[in-house]
A and B are shown apart, each in its own frame.
Chain A
């Protein structure tokens, strides 16, 4: 098994201003990581407010 290149910093919205670390090459988990999951604002409804019904019922 070998080293891998997994690193979340390049896609984090704080990458240019983040003060947490200068070593932004092998970060595989971070509480401050932010990446907009859904770009489409019209569809951006928070999960708890969804009227979620299982399609299988």
Chain B
């Protein structure tokens, strides 16, 4: 199918999508667009390139039938938004959720474009998913849904064109099904050469060793690089972590190894505090035994969740969800460094307060980019027919994250701007350069 045909198909299909009701609160699209325009103004982005980057390249909507366990057939709607591919294949997750729609995918796809660009990867940005509630389906139904969706997307994804990854309610198993289905659609001699159509696969099926710790390790590295730049040691530093999932746990794990002290943790089950320090592995083992929650950990005190961000500490790692640091709690924050492990944990007003107080924020787009860098390593590993050892992966991650951090830190110092604005400027300038060098066809 040609590009033009895809565009036509997309336009027809898009008109069938239900339009969501407008929300009063700021949505993620508005945030992403505001950050883009603010950085674009600062770098005086060429108006034509601003137009290109302000809109998505392709929006694919597919409706596909799947046979359920009871013999009934259900029709599902899947999306894939491809924002920009000036730097390389589209890259981004696929999420399964009842509220997935084209608008959500647009904002997240655009955000992926900036993230991959800043990380210096040869990728663009994409995002997608299926509108469904996964807990209503059996594992075998989810397998058939995933395989049929992959088949429906077939010509619009590919290892050198658009590379999906796990996201909300999708995991390494989902990616294994996708890889297998996509490979099955290729001629026999080409199948093995297409394993990198998705990343986030199980380690035994082309996945990367250490993928689980990549994002948290990246958060830790960013904190370490910040300390080095400021002639400070991590030893003895007090830190707090919101979210004790993969990102929060691994960031805390590596910080503790460097001698830093975890003094407070918050997750969905509660908030705990111990001024003498909370042993990360003990807490991890406790949470595993308690349905993943840290609440009631015996070697710490319970604290009021509203006071969590005002805890006395040097480093704060919001690694759970967005909009956590606001103008309401920012004035009480004691930390000198905020390392954003989550996506969008500091809102615009909260950030203003923190910057006025002289607090440094390592922005999400940089701080949590270890995950997408690991995806790139998995893709490279598959593409080159290699299998990397854990120590190799960590060493390569170290090098890549250092490059990104240094670029952002130096740019922010040189231009006297905060690290978030610097990160967006670098990301957009890299794409601008590609357009300037190549020109626009025809």
- A residues adjacent to B (C-beta < 8 A): 1-8, 10-11, 14, 17-21, 23, 25-40, 43-44, 47-48, 50, 52, 54-57
Give the distance in Å from the alpha carbon of A54 to the alpha carbon of B191 in the complex.
Answer: 10
Give the distance in Å from the alpha carbon of A49 to the alpha carbon of B243 in the complex.
Answer: 27
- B residues adjacent to A (C-beta < 8 A): 20-23, 25-30, 33, 55, 97-101, 103-104, 106-108, 133-135, 137-140, 142, 168-169, 171-173, 176, 179-180, 183-184, 188, 191-192, 202-205, 242-248, 266-271, 292, 305, 319-324, 341-344
Across chains A and B, the number of contacting residue pairs, with CB separation under 8 Å, is 176
Q: Is the CB of B180 within 8 A of A56?
A: yes
Instruction: List chain B residues, Cβ under 8 A from A40.
Output: 138-140
Q: Is the CB of B191 within 8 A of A4?
A: no
Give the distance in Å from the alpha carbon of A37 to the alpha carbon of B139 in the complex.
Answer: 7
Give the distance in Å from the alpha carbon of A23 to the alpha carbon of B341 in the complex.
Answer: 20
Give the distance in Å from the alpha carbon of A9 to the alpha carbon of B126 in the complex.
Answer: 23
Q: Is the CB of B99 within 8 A of A7?
A: yes
Q: Is the CB of B29 within 8 A of A3?
A: yes
Q: What's the least CB distance linking B351 to chain A, in Å?
A: 17
Instruction: List chain A residues, Cβ under 8 A from B267.
Output: 20, 31-32
A20 partner, pick from B98, B142, B320, beta carbons under 8 A: B320
Instruction: List chain B residues, Cβ under 8 A from A29.
Output: 168, 321-322, 342-344
Q: Is the CB of A6 within 8 A of B134?
A: no
Q: Is the CB of A21 within 8 A of B321?
A: yes
Q: Is the CB of A17 within 8 A of B268?
A: yes
Q: Is the CB of A52 within 8 A of B204?
A: yes
Q: Is the CB of A27 within 8 A of B266?
A: no
- Name the prevailing secondary structure of the A interface residues: loop
Instruction: List chain B residues, Cβ under 8 A from A19.
Output: 266, 268-271, 305
A-B contacts, 12 of them at CB < 8 A, read: A1-B29, A3-B23, A3-B27, A4-B101, A5-B20, A5-B104, A11-B135, A19-B271, A26-B28, A31-B319, A39-B135, A39-B138
Give the distance in Å from the alpha carbon of A34 to the alpha carbon of B28 in the complex.
Answer: 21
Q: Is the CB of B245 within 8 A of A4?
A: no
Q: What's the least CB distance linking A56 to chain B, in Å?
A: 5
Instruction: List chain A residues, Cβ under 8 A from B104.
Output: 4-6, 28
**Which of A26, A35, A52 has the most C-beta atoms of chain B within 10 angstroms of its own C-beta?**
A52
Q: Is the CB of A8 within 8 A of B99?
A: yes
Q: Which residue of B lies closest to A15 (CB)?
A: B268
Q: What's the least CB distance linking A3 to chain B, in Å?
A: 3
Give the distance in Å from the alpha carbon of A39 to the alpha carbon of B138 in the complex.
Answer: 6
B134 partner, pick from A18, A21, A27, A35, beta carbons under 8 A: A35
Q: Which residue of B lies closest to A48 (CB)?
A: B202
Give the distance in Å from the alpha carbon of A40 to the alpha carbon of B138 in the complex.
Answer: 6
Q: Is the CB of A43 within 8 A of B25?
A: no
Q: What's the least CB distance linking B212 to chain A, in Å?
A: 10
Q: Is the CB of B142 within 8 A of A47?
A: no
Instruction: List chain B residues, Cβ under 8 A from A4.
Output: 20, 23, 27-29, 101, 103-104, 106-107
Q: Is the CB of B172 within 8 A of A6?
A: no
Q: Is the CB of B180 within 8 A of A6?
A: no
Give the distance in Å from the alpha carbon of A27 to the alpha carbon of B25 in the complex.
Answer: 12
Q: Is the CB of A56 within 8 A of B33?
A: no
Question: Can you add 10 more A-B contacts, CB < 8 Å, to A30-B342, A31-B267, A31-B320?
Answer: A4-B27, A6-B103, A19-B270, A19-B271, A20-B324, A30-B243, A31-B245, A31-B246, A37-B171, A48-B202
Instruction: List chain B residues, Cβ under 8 A from A28.
Output: 28, 104, 108, 322, 343
Q: Is the CB of B180 within 8 A of A55?
A: yes
Give the distance in Å from the alpha carbon of A44 to the alpha carbon of B418 in the complex.
Answer: 46
Question: Known: A1-B29, A32-B320. Contact between A47 and B139, CB under 8 A?
Answer: no
Instruction: List chain A residues, Cβ under 8 A from B179.
Output: 54
Give the distance in Å from the alpha carbon of A35 to the alpha carbon of B137 in the complex.
Answer: 12
Q: Is the CB of A3 within 8 A of B103?
A: yes
Q: What's the least CB distance linking A10 to chain B, in Å?
A: 8
B204 partner, pick from A23, A26, A34, A48, beta carbons under 8 A: A48
**Which of A7, A20, A37 has the most C-beta atoms of chain B within 10 angstroms of its own C-beta?**
A20
Q: Is the CB of B321 within 8 A of A3?
A: no
Q: Is the CB of A37 within 8 A of B176?
A: no
Q: What's the least CB distance linking B416 to chain A, in Å?
A: 31
Give the distance in Å from the alpha carbon of A17 to the alpha carbon of B26 in the complex.
Answer: 25
Q: Is the CB of A3 within 8 A of B168?
A: no
Give the distance in Å from the alpha carbon of A49 to the alpha carbon of B50 in the complex.
Answer: 48
Give the distance in Å from the alpha carbon of A25 to the alpha carbon of B319 in the complex.
Answer: 19
Give the distance in Å from the alpha carbon of A13 to the alpha carbon of B83 in the complex.
Answer: 32
B268 partner, pick from A6, A32, A54, beta carbons under 8 A: A32
Give the distance in Å from the alpha carbon of A29 to the alpha carbon of B168 in the complex.
Answer: 8
